[in-house]
Structure 1
């Protein structure tokens, strides 16, 4: 089986392509009737779907893998623990699942990149949902200790009220749409009318 496209994506850290590459390869070998289950990179495939936040595809992939393979591949089970935590929105649990396994060299870069991406997603979520949030809750959402979470937030422009241990969220500037000048609209209408007649 030719995994060169998958190896290239892994080597170039194009992790967002892994799920699609694996899905395509799986379709190709299935169409040819080639048994692929033993040598298939199940954990990488599952992590690829998790990386792009496609939890439904992750669940279906997990269900399609025979239990004998699940039992023989601890890294696959560890990858699914991340998927389970995402499914149940156990934000702190996602980080626990990531740190709770000694990932293979092949998977380590992918998992590390996912962890960074997930932290950024969580930070964006906090920024859009809160105007103030406790240091403790921020640490929980970001999978960090309180000091690291505080430093991370301060680096992003947030401020800390040290007396209450609350972080004040720096909101992103809201981009407003430019209003159309009524006189421009009138000219455009006249132009279109002229073209039609």
Structure 2
């Protein structure tokens, strides 16, 4: 089986493409009737779906993985543990699952990139959901200790109040760009002209 395309994507750190490439390869191999269970990169495939935040596809893939693979490939279980935590919205558990396994060199870069991406997603979630939040809750959501979470938030413009151990969220100004459609402007001009005359 030729995994050169997948290896190239991993080496170039184009992690957002992994799930699609693995899905396509799996369909091609299945269409040819080739048995691929033992050599299939199930952990990378699961992590690829998790990276693009497609937990439903990861769940479906998990259900199709043979029991023998689940019993003999701990990294597959490690990848699925992340998926389970995402599915149940166990935010701190996601970080525990990431740190709780010693990933292979092939998976390490992908897991690390997912961890960074997940931290950014959680920070955006906090940004949209809170005006103030405790340092301990921030640390829980970001998978950091309290000092690192405070530093991370302050670096992103939030204010820290040491006496209350609270962070005040600094919302980024939203810039909405309106596109001017010349045909709509023309119709509006004609309508206003019609009303005035």
TM-score by length of 1: 0.91
Counterpart mapping for 1:12-51 below 5 A? 12-51=12-51
SS in 2 for 1:167: strand
Structure 1 residue runs of 5 or longer lacking an equivalent are none
Counterpart mapping for 1:1-197 below 5 A? 1-176=1-176, 185=185, 188-190=188-190
SS in 1 for 2:160: strand
Runs ≥4 residues deviating over 3 A: 176-180, 184-189
Once the two structures are superposed, residues 135-178 of structure 1 have per-residue CA deviations (whole angstroms, 9 ceiling, x without a partner) of 00000000000000000000000010111110000101022455
- CA shift in 2, pair 1:176/1:14, >3 Å: closer
Find the aligned partners of 2:68 and 2:179 in 1 and give their Cα distance. 62
Find the aligned partners of 1:135 and 1:42 in 2 and give their Cα distance. 37
Alpha-carbon shift at residue 70 of structure 1 (Å):
0.3
SS in 1 for 2:38: coil
Aligned pairs, number: 189
SS in 2 for 1:43: helix
Alpha-carbon shift at residue 118 of structure 1 (Å):
0.1
TM-score by length of 2: 0.91
Find the aligned partners of 1:160 and 1:31 in 2 and give their Cα distance. 57
Find the aligned partners of 1:56 and 1:187 in 2 and give their Cα distance. 45
Find the aligned partners of 2:49 and 2:73 in 1 and give their Cα distance. 18
Aligned Cα root-mean-square deviation (Å): 2.0
Find the aligned partners of 1:160 and 1:79 in 2 and give their Cα distance. 35
Find the aligned partners of 1:53 and 1:179 in 2 and give their Cα distance. 30
